[in-house]
Structure 1
Amino acid sequence: MLGQDDTARKKAVYDEELLRTAGVSWEEGAGNVAPDASLGSNFTERRYLDIVFSVKRKVWRQDDEQMESANAEYKRIRPEILAKGMHKCVFCGYRSKHTEVHHANDNHADNRPENLLIADPLCHGTQHIGQVGTQRQGVFINVEHIPQAEFNHLQRTIAVVMAMGTDEEKAEARALFQHLASRAELVKREWGTSNPSDFANALLTLRQEDFDKREGAFAHMLLLYKPSRFAEYTANWIDENYKALPTSTWDRIHERATR
């Protein structure tokens, strides 16, 4: 009587002549064909663009005498860019009708479609850290092993809970925010400041080759916004995505997702 292993080996014996006449190569029949080169690429390729903190170093719309026509072109093409990209942020994947459009090369006169990226407001702010700091709407904090894009999802959730949660949930959200904000002291201790404007001013003085290497300087740093910066957006996020998922359901959703 054949054991299970012997049975499996017997089933694995292929008739080469049968495979040939069936139009299937021996390699295909025996399972020795090299896998498609794209197989598993989702494990090695990021779905979204990496966030590298930046500051405008080139042309703003208000700084160019020829910008009136460029601004008109931007207003014309902007809805097309958002619709084509389904209002989905290229940095974090969040989808909202209130996403924004970012000029990838810092030149607001360059309205080529490939230069226009859809960005969630939290992700967009990371490309304008000087503006965030000048408006006193955020600080850099020290947190390891969390990408800024994932952290932005957390910040959005904190803002939503502060707006629609129960009193207990709001208290927990405020406590988490305060804990995160306290980690700005770690950045201040190392750099002398946690104000994004100071880092932006330093970036503006760099040569392009040094500017291109800036990512390493921001290791273990995240941009934490004041929730008030996105008060208007928070109401929109709730209407679009969170109203159908009240905070009372989040524990059950988390439990199902982590089984």
Structure 2
Amino acid sequence: MALPAVLLLALAAVLVVLVLRKLLGGGTGGRGSTVLLVGPCEGGKTTMWHQLLQGSTHLGTVASMQPNVGEGPLAGEKAAAASAGASAPRPVQLVDIPGHPRLRGQLERHAERAAGVVFVLDSVDFMPKKTETAEQLLEVLSSPALAKRRAPVLLACNKQDAGSRAHTVEFIRKRLEKELDQLRSTRGTLGDVNGGSGGGGAPLGAPGEPFTFESHARAHGVRVTTAGVSAVDRGGVAEVEAFIRRCVPA
């Protein structure tokens, strides 16, 4: 007669653990409801943050010197639900982390509960900032907390509304892969990436192979996708909204 009681207690304990992990978003690969917006200065992160949550650009580009944190249903989904007479989907917390070098340490502070990362970059002014952009992307991909959670990353190539002045998404993707491969080789010798003692970062790419986003996903389970977007237009962030909703199911 004691055996059923033991089994019931064990089952109850398992259920409690599962509920706590669900609520707290903890554990390896656990997902919360927070999505981070990161990337270089003047890429359009804060404009996108306002567009996603409020459906407006907040009177144009807004430079932020401290993280912007907001929570609620995505503006596009909220409008669609209202017109259909339905309830809004699950709220999402969006954290806009400034691109200023002195403030990028905020990444690890918020990474512990991140369900995904939107890396926002300027498609028009990409080439002069390609190295800086790659260095910041390396910080994201080598973040131990994000790697542990296997948080997916969306490269949001912003300002695609600029037409021919904007670099294509494919060009940006290939150029960043090349830059990251060079940074990995340089910094790897200093122990800053690939688990070296100098920085303790997460592994980057597949050992013995040139860096690509595909090889990184295959080796470490962290998927990196790309999208051409325009933060100044509500319709221009549709792919970002879809990515966020995949990270934080309704």
Pairwise same-fold verdict (TM > 0.5): no
CA radius of gyration, larger in: 1
The structure whose residues are more often strand, as a share, is 2
- TM-score by length of structure 1 reads 0.25
If asked which structure has higher relative contact order (CA below 8 Å, sep 6+), I would say 2
